A = this chain, B = another copy of it.
């Protein structure tokens, strides 16, 4: 280890990694991005994208870097989840991982497995395979956090395309919360927030009556928030 300089810590230190729970919304179901490991511990297992933190690198930046390196993703929303550091969680040595969770829009990602990953793929949160390390537990915490957050802050829009219908928004909320919601009450509440701007166009003519498109207005939210506004769905 480094020589003593009076202030330098001279003992062995745990390794430090970041791992990301990336959520996507694929037509009716909440999904998590997993990579198939191509390296030593847990080869062939599915795991969260992540990797070692470099000296001098900010944690959030490290998470973003790993995300783009391992899966070619640029997350629209990224928030820290917490640190996971149980001694046995990595069979090699003591590795402490700072976990993040992220939300990405369906169009904004172009999955590209790289670095030490063999493949990158979306998995429905309901049908996750057995994960490497303690990643299964981390995903569990992330889902909980997402559920709590989506009720009190307008983060859900990061999972939808820029323009979306109210039905799509409701379907998203139902997928995240895991429960059905009343259509009329949902629309009433969402519109009462006055954070969506209706776009005088239409879409989704696919088979039936076209639906009104809306866009979320982040500036308006920022202004309201400053005045002590309390988002709540």
Contacts and interface: CB of A to CB of B under 8 A. Distances in A.
Interface of A: 1, 6-9, 11-16, 40-41, 52-59, 80, 82-83, 85-87, 92-94, 96, 98
Given A13-B55, A53-B13, A55-B14, A7 B92 contact: yes
A87 B56 contact: yes
Contacts of A53: 13-14, 85, 96
25 contacts: A6-B40, A7-B40, A8-B92, A8-B93, A9-B15, A9-B52, A13-B16, A14-B16, A14-B53, A16-B16, A16-B96, A53-B85, A55-B94, A56-B94, A57-B94, A58-B86, A58-B87, A59-B83, A59-B85, A59-B96, A80-B82, A80-B83, A83-B83, A85-B98, A96-B98
Contact of A98 (B57, B58, B83): B83
Given A14-B53, A55-B94, 5 more contacts: A11-B55, A13-B55, A14-B55, A59-B86, A59-B96
Nearest to A87: B56
A65 B226 CA distance: 40
B85 A13 contact: no
Give this chain's copy count: 2
Chain A contact residues, majority secondary structure: loop
B85 A82 contact: no
Contacts of A57: 87, 94
A57 B86 CA distance: 7
A16 B98 CA distance: 11
Nearest to A51: B9
Q: Which of A1, A11, A14, A96 has the most CB of B within 10 A?
A: A14
Contacts of A82: 80, 82-83
Contacts of A12: 55
Given A80-B82, A85-B98, A87-B56, A15 B15 contact: no
A179 to B, nearest CB: 12
